[in-house]
Chain A
Amino acid sequence: MTEQQALFKYCVRLGDNALIQSYRLAEWCSNAPMLEEDLALTNMALDMTGRAQMLLQYAGSISGEGQTSDDLAYRRSEPEYRNNLISELPDNDFAFVMVKQMFTSTFEYFLYLALMESSDKTLAAIAAKSVKEARYHMAHTSDWVVRLGDGTGESNRRAQEAVNALWPYTGELFETDDVDRLLQEKGVAANLEQIQIWWRQYVIETIPAAKLELPSDDYQHTGGRIGVHTEYLGHILSEMQYLQRAYPDAKW
């Protein structure tokens, strides 16, 4: 694997995480419990669509095959996606989306903070923008996790269920593979072991502040790095890609 191939894979991974999260967050449009949260979740979706576009565009520009961001978003099949499994899980509950986004926004905040120092100038510039958004998302969702966990018996129960269900999907965020190792040597990629330390520290403080507990069982799911997804990603893609699949090159 050349450095260029590794960088392509790295950008696709970051871009796919943004894209799939964006899709799930957009599903909340008109479904949140209050208008402000409709705005919040869809604004977060918009931030992530923009981030996905930049990352996939950059990926396409270095692949040597000249794909556009749309080609990468709409013309790949499920096993070619490299997003973490947590981003594709369906949000059936408001507590679930808030806990999920707290976990992932905190990860993204520390990840993009580290990537601001990347030796790859484009990646560093994308990180400089993304870190501000991630910090904002992290503050917003952390507030909600505390509000729900330290709220009523019902909101606490649902937040705790979300923590229990989501925890086994958090380990994957920090998995390091050959792509990471090659790019870390070049000063391009972030050190995920270090990020995990910062992430854990934040989560370990936030969860008890919300009167919630982390599960003692540390079993972790895996698969996103090699394109083995949950059953949910295929359903997402069948809807998200429908137009470009049915009418290739359709334009507004």
Chain B
Amino acid sequence: MVKISQSRSQILDLLSSIPDPEIPVVNIIEMGMVRDVILTEDGCDVILMPTYNGCPAMAQIEADILVLLKREQIAPAKVTIVLDPAWTTDWMTEEAKEKLRNYGIAPPLHSSCNSDQFARNTIRCPICNSVQTSLVSRFGSTPCKSLYRCDSCFEPFEYFKCH
């Protein structure tokens, strides 16, 4: 029988120190990627939900979690990736969206299944808050972002796509 001294909420707190590898201002808890932490006689199981299907950051996050838990002597530990329910940007916390905005990334609009996902000019510039913005490229530097330009302050910015 395994005895882990930390509680579930303490472990969740620890996990909130792990940043999203591609957007380091937000952590994996705020992003809504951690479904749960399950403590049993067999050890600690972190239930993780993949964001984008092909997102290369997932492997990094999994490795970061295992390193952290090892350092905190939480053992045995494992990460289980679950697909159901499917992660959506609707699970990002308001704090995370605010942090994204301050970082210069327009946060995702609600809701992921919105069929007018492609409506233009509804994305606010994260720098000057203008709604006069134009889509430059649907695809950006990572699977989760597209590129916009602000027609008021003329700054380019990224938009975290709703998913």
Q: Which residues of A contact B (CB under 8 A)?
A: 36, 39-40, 43-44, 46-51, 53-54, 121-122, 124-126, 128-130, 132-133, 135-136, 139-140
Known contacts: A47-B53, A136-B161, A139-B118. The answer to whether A125 contacts B140 by CB under 8 A is no
Q: What are 28 contact pairs spanning A and B, CB under 8 A?
A: A36-B136, A36-B139, A39-B137, A39-B141, A40-B139, A46-B54, A46-B55, A46-B56, A47-B52, A47-B53, A47-B143, A48-B54, A50-B52, A50-B53, A50-B54, A51-B54, A53-B53, A124-B84, A125-B85, A125-B86, A128-B85, A128-B86, A129-B83, A129-B87, A130-B53, A132-B113, A133-B52, A139-B118
CB-based nearest A residue for B145: A43
Q: Is the interface of A mostly helix, strand, loop or mixed?
A: helix
Contact (Cβ within 8 A) B84 A132: no
Q: Which residues of B contact A (CB under 8 A)?
A: 50, 52-56, 83-87, 112-113, 117-118, 136-141, 143, 147, 161, 163
- How many angstroms between the C-alpha atoms of A43 and B54 in the bound complex? 9
Q: 16 new A-B pairs (CB below 8 Å) besides A36-B139, A39-B137, A128-B85? A: A39-B139, A39-B141, A40-B138, A40-B139, A46-B56, A46-B143, A47-B52, A47-B54, A48-B54, A49-B53, A49-B54, A54-B53, A125-B84, A129-B50, A130-B53, A139-B118
- How many angstroms between the C-alpha atoms of A124 and B84 in the bound complex? 8
Q: Smallest distance from the beta carbon of A7 to chain B beta carbons, Å?
A: 15
Residues of B with C-beta under 8 A to A130: 53
Contact (Cβ within 8 A) A122 B84: yes
Contact (Cβ within 8 A) A129 B85: no
CB-based nearest B residue for A48: B54
Q: Smallest distance from the beta carbon of A104 to chain B beta carbons, Å?
A: 16
Residues of B with C-beta under 8 A to A44: 139
Contact among A40, A126, A136 with B83 in the assembled complex (CB-CB below 8 Å): A126
Count CB-based A-B contacts (< 8 Å). 69
- How many angstroms between the C-alpha atoms of A125 and B143 in the bound complex? 19
Q: Smallest distance from the beta carbon of B76 to chain A beta carbons, Å?
A: 22
Contact among B50, B56, B84, B147 with A121 in the assembled complex (CB-CB below 8 Å): B84
Contact (Cβ within 8 A) B83 A122: yes
CB-based nearest A residue for B142: A43
- How many angstroms between the C-alpha atoms of A51 and B139 in the bound complex? 18
Contact (Cβ within 8 A) A136 B138: yes
Contact among B50, B84, B87, B139 with A43 in the assembled complex (CB-CB below 8 Å): B139
Residues of A with C-beta under 8 A to B84: 121-122, 124-125
Residues of B with C-beta under 8 A to A128: 85-86
Q: Smallest distance from the beta carbon of A98 to chain B beta carbons, Å?
A: 13
Task: Across the A-B interface, give the 8 residue pairs with the lowest CB-CB distance, nearest first.
Answer: A50-B54, A50-B53, A125-B84, A128-B86, A125-B83, A46-B54, A36-B137, A43-B139
- How many angstroms between the C-alpha atoms of A197 and B11 in the bound complex? 51
Residues of A with C-beta under 8 A to B118: 139
Contact among B56, B136, B137, B163 with A132 in the assembled complex (CB-CB below 8 Å): B163
Known contacts: A36-B137, A136-B138. The answer to whether A129 contacts B54 by CB under 8 A is no
Residues of A with C-beta under 8 A to B55: 46, 50
Q: Smallest distance from the beta carbon of A73 to chain B beta carbons, Å?
A: 14
Contact among B50, B54, B112, B140 with A39 in the assembled complex (CB-CB below 8 Å): B140
